[in-house]
Amino acid sequence: MDALTDVLVKGGIAPSRARLAAKVAMAAFGYANRRWANEPTIELGAAIAQAADEVLTLAGDPHAAHR
């Protein structure tokens, strides 16, 4: 997670926001990975995209569920 945080900071994101984004990204990936492991018919990329949509929905993005 530190490497992801560092890349975000180097890209101009404030350190505290970069840490938060890295934590959210890692949690979403973990969620997607568990789903992929438990559902053999789903592709990992699709599980990651669905997890990202879940995060956006939680954040209040009205378009997330329609991607």
pLDDT one digit per residue (tens) for the chain, 67 residues: 799 999 999 999 999 999 999 999 999 999 999 999 999 899 999 999 999 999 999 988 777 665 5
Residue type, 65: A
Domain span at residue 59 reads 2-66
pTM to 2 decimals? 0.80
Q: Which residue has the tokens 């973990």?
A: 30
**How far from the centroid of its chain's Cα atoms is residue 58's Cα?**
12
C-alpha count within 13 angstroms, C-beta hemisphere, residue 49: 8
- Total number of domains in the chain: 1
The CA distances from residue 40 to 20, 26, 35, 47, 48, in Å, are 31, 21, 9, 11, 14
